[in-house]
Amino acid sequence: MIYQEVLKRINAVQKLRTKDIDDIAKDYLTRGVDVDDLFPHIDENGALFRIYLVVSLKRIQKYEDQIAFIEDLFPHLRDWWHVDILPQLLKRAPSFDYVYGLSAKYVQSDLLFVRRWGYVIFLTGFQKDPSLTKNILNLMHNDAAYYVQMAEAWLIADLAIYNPEEILRFIASRKLNYGIIGKAIQKMCDSFRISDEIKRRARELRALYK
């Protein structure tokens, strides 16, 4: 039974790392191993869930079908670790409007990690198109959950790489609480892909929130 085999492989590693788990998933993908039997056990162990997620999503050919699969798993998303790998597993989206519609629903969810996914979903290349920055920013809202705030900050900082002026204007507009903006500015300042000048201007905008 695949469940027992996965447990044995996981337990055989003295100090389990993400790479070890992903190597198991890669092996199952290469060998065509059916992991459906893991589903009843995905809430037992984060490593089991990740293997099930990676193998299953990699085998789904259409973006829309992948999204449907992820949505079925929404009640089981209880870790940023599982949400943040999703962009690496998705096929090419049919359109920005399609993804925008999904995000608009997700960011209003009662489920914390679904709301996080509502922002992380854009980190598949959409954040690189400056013409989309304003639309993505329109979905930002004040969320009290730390893991959602961190996703918003991450997305803002990534958008700043490709459209820094728009992000500086957004920060100056004070549409979000400093709990989110402060994290975004810190992520911008930590980035090697954002100029020192933009970082300086971002830091100066902190004064607007004091």
Q: What residue spans define the domains of the chain?
A: 96-209
Contacts of 22 (CB under 8 A, 6+ apart): 50, 54
Yes or no: say if 31 and 59 are a contact pair by the CB < 8 Å rule: no
Other beta carbons within 10 angstroms of residue 87's beta carbon come to: 15
pTM, two decimal places = 0.95
CATH class belonging to 96-209:
mainly alpha
- For the record, the structure tokens of 72 come out as 């079925």
In a structure prediction context, what are the per-residue pLDDT tens digits for the chain, which is 210 residues long?
Answer: 899 999 999 999 889 999 999 999 999 999 999 999 999 999 999 999 999 999 999 999 999 999 999 999 999 999 999 999 999 999 999 999 999 999 999 999 999 999 999 999 999 999 999 999 999 999 999 999 999 999 999 999 999 999 999 999 999 999 999 999 999 999 999 999 999 999 999 999 999 997
Determine the pLDDT at residue 1: 83
What Å distances lie between residue 148 and 4, 6, 144, 145, 187, CA to CA? 34, 31, 8, 5, 15
- Give the per-residue pLDDT at 14: 85
Q: How far is CA 198 from the centre of its chain?
A: 25
Contact 47, 28 (CB under 8 A): no
Per-residue model confidence (pLDDT) at position 210: 79
The count of C-alpha atoms lying within 13 angstroms of the C-alpha of 40, restricted to the half-sphere facing its C-beta, is 5
What's the pLDDT score for residue 128?
Answer: 97
How far is Cα 39 from Cα 56, in angstroms, rounded to an integer? 10
pLDDT of residue 63: 98
d(CA 66, CA 57): 6
Tell me if 84 sits within 8 A of 120, measured CB to CB: yes
Distance, CA of 161 to CA of 167 (rounded, Å): 9
